[in-house]
Structure 1
Amino acid sequence: MGFSLKQIIVLLMLILAYPVSAAQLTIELDHNRTTWQTADLLQHPAAQVVQIVDDVSYKRNMTYRAVPMAALLPGLVAQNHVQAVALDGFAAELAVAPLLAQSGAQAWLAVEDPAHPWPPLAAGKPSAGPFYLVWTQPQASGISPEQWPFQVSKIRQLKTVAERFPVLLPDPALAVDDPVNLGFALFQKNCLACHRLNGAGDAQVGPDLNVPYSPTEYFGGDFLKRYIRDPQSLRHWPQAKMPAFATSVLPDADLDLLVGYLKHMAARKTDAAL
């Protein structure tokens, strides 16, 4: 038996009105493992309402119920390193120092309330929930868009990128302040959340940036820089995920350093990755 138009409309209204399901977040530290439920985080003693100006994901001002990240990382110190893993495989590598900061840019874990779900990120897409790492005053510490992981499901303490993935390292003969090493730091901050290189990394979103070929080997002239600045201007397709890196996020000098690292690594492909 078919449904009347009125019944279909009522059914759709019920579906749209149905609240977002509660979720859980796992935080794995070397000394303990905690699983937080949505309700527990919303009622956390340190939770408060925060105003985010020009939210990276929503491109507008947003208001969230959020918990300071420092309150969720007990026992960690500035030298530690964590990774925020999203539901889609995005894996943000995060130095702990900015997450613990009490001044300048401050990190918060925004928690989506099932009774008041956040809007979708775009038509046909889900929201940034259930958990979203947001920042107040991000410009004070040069926080990049890759440090705003959304749909987070797990946060885990790990060794640094260099310790876990030595095949990402530039030539050890280079000085610490060599431009290639500076480019490596930018690669970790801006690229490793989505991409691997030489087969190394935890991300599952974008392609490997060195094998079988580095983009510096097949993008001629300044096209690689143009692609990083605005991917859709060179390769346009509806499901593209790579964000544009504006000069406010990645200044021209930093972009040169990043490309310099990729060029350097094109000559350091590993046998295991080929």
Structure 2
Amino acid sequence: MKQIIVLLLVLVGPASAAELTIELDHSRTTWHTAELLKHPAAQTVQIVDDVSYKRNMTYRAVPMAALLPGLTVQNHVQAVALDGFAAELAAAPLLAQSGAQAWLAVEDPARPWPPLANGKPSAGPFYLVWTQPQASGISPEQWPFQISTIKQLKTVAERFPALLPDPALAADDPINQGFALFQKNCLACHRLNGAGDAQVGPDLNMPYSPTEYFGSDFLKRYIRDPQSLRHWPQAKMPAFAASVLPDAELDLLVGYLKHMAARKTDTSL
């Protein structure tokens, strides 16, 4: 019996074989679970009201700054999850040493995390979590889980000009403020004008913008609580409470979508 168990372990392989690839302009590193758990900077961190688990959680985690050598606050990275969720992340908050701090939580195969829901996997093997997220206005979309790759890229505006508002607008115009909120809260799941890397939700401008088929304030109601207007068991879009997206910011976001409805360019063709 002991020989059979050993043979099964060899065939299946160790549970700690999960890999995370970090691709920076100057380096490419592949980390294994066991290496990250033993990382010199690894700590046990307490996360209050975890975004994904909706309760307090404890993780073994490595500061993101320790995994991004050579990155500067002007840089930009993308965290790609196993399901195609692609979180666009400015480097500055990832490197911050005060206020909100970013951590890569690492799932220990010997102490697996609970499933995210019945019939669902856990948030592992790698999950970007934050301590004191409220100090820097960290959005739920900046908590990607089941991460497989983190890569340095040019900014969203540089990579996807089809997302840009009218260039004649001032930098601080409300439409440009709405564009910043779109990047922070929507681009991880949605494309617009065919532009973006996300593979989860529908395009928000082609063939129609939601501002063209949601009447009155129903679009805002949908963003606040998608299940209140369109209910189905496999829905993935989270609710954006006022504590995450205040009313003033929601108005700016919808303003950007209305503006882009007149700037349709399908780059996917």
* TM-score normalised over the length of structure 2: 0.94
The answer to whether the 8 Å contact 1:146/1:193 transfers is yes
The answer to whether the 8 Å contact 1:24/1:36 transfers is yes
- 1:265 and 1:57 map into 2 onto residues whose CA distance is 31
Which contiguous aligned blocks of 4+ residues in structure 1 show a shift greater than 6 angstroms?
none
- 1:76 and 1:261 map into 2 onto residues whose CA distance is 30
SS of 1:115's equivalent?
coil
1:189 maps onto 2:196 in alignment: no
Alignment of 1:27-176 (within 5 A): 27-176=22-171
The answer to whether the 8 Å contact 2:22/2:30 transfers is yes
SS of 2:249's equivalent?
helix
Q: After superposition, what is the alpha-carbon deviation per residue over 1:141-175, rounded to whole angstroms, capped at 9, x for unaligned?
A: 00000000000000000000000000100000000
How far did residue 27 of structure 1 move?
0.1
- 1:183 and 1:114 map into 2 onto residues whose CA distance is 41
Q: After superposition, what is the alpha-carbon deviation per residue over 1:217-264, rounded to whole angstroms, capped at 9, x for unaligned?
A: 000000000000000000000000000000000000000000000000
1:204 maps onto 2:206 in alignment: no
How far did residue 192 of structure 1 move?
0.1
- 1:264 and 1:72 map into 2 onto residues whose CA distance is 38
SS of 1:237's equivalent?
coil
How far did residue 133 of structure 1 move?
0.1
What is the letter of the counterpart of residue 248 of structure 2?
A
Change (3 A) 1:271 1:52: closer
Q: What 5-or-longer segments of structure 1 have no aligned partner?
A: 1-18
The answer to whether the 8 Å contact 1:91/1:194 transfers is yes
Question: What is the CA RMSD across the aligned residues, in angstroms?
Answer: 1.2
Deviates further, 20-29 or 173-182:
20-29
SS of 2:251's equivalent?
helix
Deviates further, 263-272 or 77-86:
263-272
- 2:77 and 2:160 map into 1 onto residues whose CA distance is 15
The answer to whether the 8 Å contact 1:20/1:117 transfers is no
Change (3 A) 1:215 1:76: same
How far did residue 273 of structure 1 move?
4.8
SS of 1:163's equivalent?
helix
